[in-house]
Chain A
């Protein structure tokens, strides 16, 4: 029967990519010099599995390539070969190569055969380098093979004698049956080769009382008339060799039982091919072009719908913990119950059922909120999906730079929305590369500075408030405020008389045009620049800040909203417009009149909140909205908001009430607007903008400086 194997290919490819990831992280762990047998076994199994599957499904190039890796790894796990750094590096490179091969096959593209040859040779060199040392095991293979071969292989097909065939003396050992084998079955197979007659030898059957029915006490002599070869007979008995005595003689005797010389010749070529090594080539680790996600950046469209392009090796789907689905099913069940209860109430409604109605509605509200929570939870993935690629990145690049760098991951299990996972990857890569390139010093410099030789980069994620915080903390050389300032002046980005504090100086890094040629090329080949990184993060509704201490290190802090889809907001009126202020940012709201506001020259207005003065942002002004009263009104509400520890007040006309709003993207069809993180559709169908507090502050500062410089 012919079975279409291609139906299994997709699963196979997915398995391979998973296996390669496991191999990669295993290989990186091996690095630390302490060889955990569990780890090396996992790596071996990965190669073994891929080899097996690729052979079965017909991907012979992959099978051959993986076979060498498997052999290397097998020797390593047996202790026959030391785990050296060069070997690990070659294996890591081979993992990349395999990944590229499989991706190419999966998408029907040509395989990069140059890379394959390079890595295959590198693997063979690694392998051959110690084959000479471990030849005993190889020769054992060969002699084993020799032993298996029976004599008289050339003795047949002579047409002299009347009978052509074999005499087979078969004596199973007692335990033959215990492996589920059965002489009857063997004889049946022999019958397929020709005619046989059997005579059984019952001499060895013990006395009746001593008989153990599970033991085989019989032996046979068979005469098989057949033109078959001795190999075919051995084939049939192959499973039981070692469990029996087997003697096969040709019915026509031609030559004595001597091991034909051809046997020895046969074994030699095997050793030869293993021992002969290609001329050692200078193999520097070739940079395999990783199929990157660079061109596949997913977007979030209106309604938080994720638009995902095909990622390499995967489809646009996620795995979800069934517990999350079960939780959702439970809640839906409750909703159904509440709904039917309300249905009953509504059927013959009268005012005395009002309490019931209200109760039902509030239950429904609760269920809806739970359902929202539950559904959003389904989209949450541990941030490790992003973090997991960084150990490899750091390992490779620090090696290239000749620096010693240790990457620590903290909080990898912190869950974030899937969209965040996908969109934060490129910015994080860029930032970590900066740390690697510019942050951590060369080992000598570190020692000279009294620091440990090995630099540390900590990649940390945690929840705080309604946000997820991702931090990249390095103990490198830190930022030099003065250097930043002079560089910015040099590039004409700021006035040479500018005086900036630390924070403002660090902010210069985010200005377009600040990055110079000395910044490295981005891994995904896209445009570099911290301004792009910041834009990407802001596009997610998040924010990025830099803290640094010269000589000590730098911390980059990224804040992202926990979910992109729904937020709790406070509706406010500004003139005729309605805006939504995210509830997580709001500290409190205060009704005010004129006298409470103070004007400070050059810094705008402030408002005294208990014992501190906070800056005021007049929404009408920064958003160019006509106030309701034509006169510059000082009646309204100050919404006190917090932005990373700093307070400010938004001056609006009135509060319209809390709302839970579905966040829709403004950028999907339009553009990013400063001060706005998204939009939502109100109950009446109109669109309200959701405010972005950090953006508002920036806008306000800008306006202030424009005003003061006029």
Chain B
């Protein structure tokens, strides 16, 4: 938190802090019993679950691909990836389509979540560091925690979250 405060201070002496510098908006959704949030700017759209076309020889949480208005978009099941619970697909199951950037390349990928809650506006200065969770969710993906009313929301780093793991190619 201190780091974030000084970050704000460092934005230049003549820089008036705007609304945008202090607040951020996140889309919150549920996975199992927890609530998570992703930066609203990375959210492209929300769709209901539809059958995917399977891709051979990839991790099982990479469920497959779908046709999104002409583009081929992979669908990742976050519940499986984060090992949160057994993934089931119900009429309520939702796919959040996200945009992620790495190496100057922007990719569109969909993640399967249990349900979407709402868009929350948070004060950046109130983001807390995460204690070590252990196996529940990899700390790498997590930007921090925030409390909102009596909710605790785990803020995810979309780019890290959507990094694809290297596949082995033994000879």
Which residues from chain A sit less than 8 Å from chain B, CB to CB?
295, 299, 301-303, 493-494, 511, 577, 622-625, 664-666, 668-671, 673-676, 679, 681, 685-689, 699, 702, 705-706
Contact = CB atoms under 8 A, between A and B. Distances in A.
Contacts of A674: 57, 167, 169
A681 B51 CA distance: 14
Contact of A687 (B66, B108, B164): B66
A687 B65 contact: yes
Contacts of A669: 71-74, 107-109
A679 B72 contact: yes
Nearest to B51: A686
B14 interface: no
Contacts of A686: 51, 53, 67
A676 B57 CA distance: 11
Nearest to A309: B104
10 contacts: A301-B71, A622-B57, A668-B72, A669-B109, A670-B107, A673-B57, A679-B65, A681-B67, A688-B53, A699-B57
B151 interface: no
Contacts of B104: 295
Contacts of B167: 671, 674
A302 to B, nearest CB: 4
B56 A668 contact: no
Contacts of A670: 55, 65, 72-74, 107, 109, 164
A665 B56 contact: no
B54 interface: yes
B105 interface: yes
B54 to A, nearest CB: 6
B171 interface: yes
Interface in B91-122: 104-105, 107-109
Contacts of A665: 72
Given A493-B171, A669-B74, A687-B52, 9 more contacts: A511-B171, A669-B108, A669-B109, A670-B73, A671-B164, A674-B167, A675-B56, A676-B55, A676-B56
B58 interface: yes
Interface of B: 51-58, 64-67, 70-74, 104-105, 107-109, 164, 167, 169-171
Contacts of A511: 171
Contacts of B107: 668-670
The 4 closest A-B pairs by CB, nearest first: A623-B56, A302-B71, A687-B53, A670-B74
A466 to B, nearest CB: 22
Nearest to A303: B70
Nearest to B100: A669
A210 to B, nearest CB: 83
Contacts, number: 87
Q: Max chain A CB contacts within 10 Å: which of B52, B57, B164?
A: B57
Contact of A668 (B53, B54, B66, B71): B71
Contacts of B108: 669
B81 to A, nearest CB: 15
A238 to B, nearest CB: 58
Contact of A664 (B51, B55, B56, B71): B71
A493 B70 CA distance: 41
Q: Max chain B CB contacts within 10 Å: which of A625, A671, A685?
A: A671
Contact of B105 (A299, A303, A624): A299
Given A511-B171, A687-B53, A666 B72 contact: yes
A301 B55 CA distance: 18
Contacts of A702: 169-171
Nearest to A575: B54
B65 A666 contact: yes
A625 B56 contact: yes
Contact of A673 (B56, B73, B105): B56
A668 B54 CA distance: 17
A623 B56 CA distance: 5
A702 B54 CA distance: 21
A681 B69 CA distance: 10
A674 B109 CA distance: 20
Contacts of B57: 622-624, 673-675, 699
Nearest to B70: A303
A493 B170 CA distance: 10
Contacts of B54: 577, 625
Given A670-B109, A702-B171, A706-B170, A689 B55 contact: yes
Contacts of A671: 58, 74, 164, 167
Contacts of A666: 55, 65, 72
A625 to B, nearest CB: 7
Nearest to A507: B171
A687 B50 CA distance: 12
Nearest to A512: B169
Nearest to B165: A671
A664 B70 CA distance: 8
Contacts of B56: 622-625, 673, 675-676
Contacts of B64: 687
Contacts of A299: 105
A606 B57 CA distance: 24
Contacts of A625: 54, 56
Nearest to A574: B56
A612 B65 CA distance: 39
Nearest to A680: B72
Nearest to A675: B56
A107 B171 CA distance: 47
B70 A302 contact: yes
B161 to A, nearest CB: 15
Contacts of B72: 302, 664-666, 668-670, 679, 681, 687
A705 B107 CA distance: 35
B169 A689 contact: no
Nearest to B99: A669
Contacts of B105: 299
B105 to A, nearest CB: 7
Q: Max chain A CB contacts within 10 Å: which of B52, B108, B171?
A: B171
Contacts of B73: 669-670
Contact of B55 (A622, A673, A685, A706): A673
A531 B113 CA distance: 37
Nearest to A666: B72
